[in-house]
A and B are shown apart, each in its own frame.
Chain A
Amino acid sequence: MRQRSLVILTSILTTGALTLTACGSRDDSGDGGGDSGDTTLTIGVDAPLSGENSTTGLGIQYGVQIAVDDANKNNLVPGVKFKVKALDDKAQPATGQSNATALVGDKNVVGVVGPLNSGVAQTMQQVFESANMVEISPSNTNPTLTLGKDWQTNKQRPYKTYFRTATTDELQGTFAAEYAYNDLKKKKAFVVDDKQTYGAGLASIFNEQFKGLGGAIAGTDHVNTGDKDFASLVTKIKTSGADLLYYGGQYDESALITKQLKDAGVKIPLFGGDGMYATTYIETAGAAAEGDLVTSVGVPVDTLAGAKAFVAEYKAKGYKGDYGAYGGYSYDAATAIIKAVGAVKAANDDKLPDTNDLRAKVVDAVQKSDFEGITGKVSFDEYGDTGNKQLTVYQVVKGAWKSVHTGTAGS
């Protein structure tokens, strides 16, 4: 009897320990401002910097870092220097929320770039709204973040402090379905997602659009993030007769799925969203990744003239992570905040207002953003969505992502 109760007690303790580890620590470094003639303001970054998704998360952090370095070097806002404060959300919504609180609590922070994951963004939006602080995500693609819960019927912006430089899954899922059906000539897709805000949303949009175009859905399934063994799923896909596997989620799971799928002799391509667009996907899946596809936001970063300097600098500084998917968008997001600070300062007799006033005015100034960024024109519509609606399909060719098609959804 004693031993059985020990087992029960142990289980309870483990659950408790898990919950505890999910909570991040708070960082309350309030000051850190410049003591010279220049004021120093901080651009916050929230992204997964370790563990799952950290390759793309680090790309966001260093994308912002380069934007801030460039702004300081070019004296973009005279009399104001910027620095970066990056917090790790480990791709966990609860951690993201506590990071948001920490960033709001730091008086030097004027705005935040991030997070990477749509599910994390949901917990952060309210915190920033209450503090009237601008948040620009370079990568969130879930439609509800800017268009509200009933976005399919009644678009309504839930938070006026939230913006993004990425296009939504509504466009991305449609774009993927069109490419799969019209260009790849795939007629029977198996659709899998990871049950997260981003993955499930994208997969269901693809599912509907693919059916709408005349394609058949061979089956659907859901996986858990952190799963490693997909043998059962692979067997199901094998017998379903699908000629394409569409996956809504991140590279951590999809790289394993594509490897196990192809090891089992199912030679159909895996097609995913921008969450999979990272070199880690190819490194982990190896040869199995060959021929797999993703859609990602914007036009390929290295084809843009403005982005070439960015890519060169990223490589020259030897930063970790991957700039490919969102580095350029992070750069533009940070620049939008910096330019907004400049506009506020110029409109206020060349003086910076106090923290709360500054934050509120920066939100309005970001809304009015209109400049040529390194990824194209940076502007926001009435919902906070980017004006740049370009999307690109990339495919793994000889062990590297290669752009195969650029356009807009519905064209």
Chain B
Amino acid sequence: MNTLPQQLANGLLLGSMYGLIAIGYTMVYGIVQLINFAHGEIFMTGAFGALTVYFYVLPDNTAMIVAVPLMLIGGALVAILIAVGAERFAYRPLRGAPRLAPLITAIGLSLALQEVVRNFYPDADRARAFPGLDATHDIGSVTIKDADIFLVVAAIVCMSGLALFVRRSRTGRAMQATAQDPDTAQLMGIDTNRIIVIAFAIGGFFAAVAAVAYGLKYGNVDYRMGFLMGLKAFTAAVLGGIGNIYGAMLGGIVLGVAETLASAYIDGIPGMQQLGGQGWANVWAFCLLIIVLLVRPQGLLGERVADRA
């Protein structure tokens, strides 16, 4: 049996999730040149927001077709609220401060959010079960779950929506202008504070979509889930060219596919058995990042200033 199609599908799915989270890093970086290291935790709180809707708001045994959209709304509300709150209370007072200050604030915020969830969310000190969409479908030699379909559809819809929004809408164009030159944009009558808030909110929304997909796919969530996913998504954003929204998605997919293929096939190469398998997947993924950055320091899609939003 040829496993390549299945492995490619595995990688594509993992990569779509990285890509959705990477959008949040790249949007914020494109506009305020801040790497929001708390973004992984915004992703995590989005998952807990959705979990809250399922377990504590909806009646028991709600049909998933009804529950999933409501969970998305709940998760998005929480994630956007926290993302925007972080901007308003943690980052805005530091605008204009040396760059290290907001960066360290971001790391602190990330730890704080983890601990708040761990200590105050019921039973969050260990993994909490999340309702799954586990029905499977065979397409040729590829087996995928309902949750995978949700992830792919959500990623395509969100990305197209974002592309349209940034290109066509008035606010989207204002975002591009702010990314290009915040001072001039302000002189032209753009409320840059509002644009920055919108960038954080969009990042939060994408993180929440990824978080719901994560929960549906893996069947559980925990307070540390944002750390590794955030780090990978950040890597994806850098790989694709930080500041570029298409780059974030592309970077995510490249990273996901590279990780999956490395763990699937490297140990089959004669002499490489010790360096293969799932345990080495991260090593190969980061090797890829290093190589890309050596050859193209600006990332795969560079940083085309014109649509850097």
Please list the residues of chain A having a beta carbon within 8 angstroms of any beta carbon in chain B.
Answer: 3-4, 6-7, 9-10, 13-14, 17, 21, 50-51, 54-55, 195, 220-224, 226-233, 235-236, 239, 252, 255-256, 259-260, 263-265, 280, 283-286
Contacts and interface: CB of A to CB of B under 8 A. Distances in A.
B225 A228 contact: yes
Contacts of A260: 218
B279 A54 contact: no
B241 to A, nearest CB: 11
A54 B225 contact: no
B107 A284 contact: no
Interface stretch (B3-11, B70-78, B80-88, B157-165): B3-11
B89 to A, nearest CB: 21
Contact of B297 (A4, A6, A259, A280): A4
A280 B33 contact: no
Interface in B247-289: 259-261, 263-264, 267, 277-282
Interface stretch (B124-132, B170-178, B183-191): B124-132
B99 interface: yes
Contacts of B218: 228-229, 256, 259-260
A232 B259 CA distance: 9
B37 interface: yes
* A51, A195, A265, most chain B CB atoms within 10 A: A51
B147 to A, nearest CB: 9
B278 A223 contact: yes
Contacts of B11: 232
Contacts of B139: none
A55 B118 CA distance: 14
Given A224-B281, A232-B7, A232-B11, 17 more contacts: A7-B238, A13-B104, A50-B118, A51-B224, A54-B126, A55-B126, A220-B277, A229-B14, A231-B10, A231-B260, A233-B278, A236-B3, A252-B127, A255-B127, A259-B218, A259-B219, A284-B219
B243 to A, nearest CB: 8
Nearest to B298: A4
26 contacts: A6-B33, A10-B37, A14-B231, A50-B125, A51-B125, A221-B263, A221-B277, A221-B278, A222-B280, A224-B281, A228-B225, A229-B14, A231-B13, A232-B7, A232-B260, A232-B261, A232-B264, A232-B278, A232-B281, A255-B220, A256-B218, A265-B136, A265-B143, A285-B219, A286-B129, A286-B132
Contacts of B267: 221
A192 B244 CA distance: 39
A169 B129 CA distance: 31
A235 B10 contact: yes
A10 B118 contact: no
B303 to A, nearest CB: 8
Contacts of B6: 235
B228 A230 contact: no
A228 B33 CA distance: 30
B92 interface: no
B220 A235 contact: no
B11 to A, nearest CB: 8
Nearest to B218: A228
B291 interface: no
A230 B264 contact: no
- Chain B interface size band reads 35 or more
B126 A7 contact: no
Contact of B145 (A3, A4, A51, A263): A263
Given A224-B279, A236-B3, A6 B10 contact: no
Across chains A and B, which 8 residue pairs bring their CB atoms closest together, nearest first?
A222-B279, A231-B10, A221-B277, A232-B263, A232-B260, A223-B278, A232-B264, A235-B6
A256 B35 CA distance: 31
Contacts of A286: 129, 132, 219
A283 B127 CA distance: 9
Contacts of B7: 232, 235
B116 interface: no
Contact of B103 (A13, A230, A232, A239): A13
Contacts of B134: 263
Given A227-B278, A230-B278, A232-B264, A256 B220 contact: yes
A197 B13 CA distance: 32
A280 B277 contact: no
B220 A6 contact: no
A239 B1 contact: yes
A263 B278 contact: no
B153 interface: no
A284 B143 contact: no
Interface string B88-111: 000000000001100110010001
A224 B104 contact: no
Nearest to B1: A239
Interface in B218-240: 218-220, 224-225, 228-229, 231, 238
Nearest to A55: B126
Contacts of B225: 228
Contacts of A54: 125-126
A369 to B, nearest CB: 34
Contacts of A229: 10, 14, 218
A223 B228 CA distance: 14
B290 to A, nearest CB: 11
A60 to B, nearest CB: 15
A50 B126 CA distance: 8
A284 B125 contact: no
Contacts of A226: 224, 228
Contacts of A50: 118, 125
B56 to A, nearest CB: 18
B4 to A, nearest CB: 10
A284 B215 CA distance: 12
Nearest to B108: A17
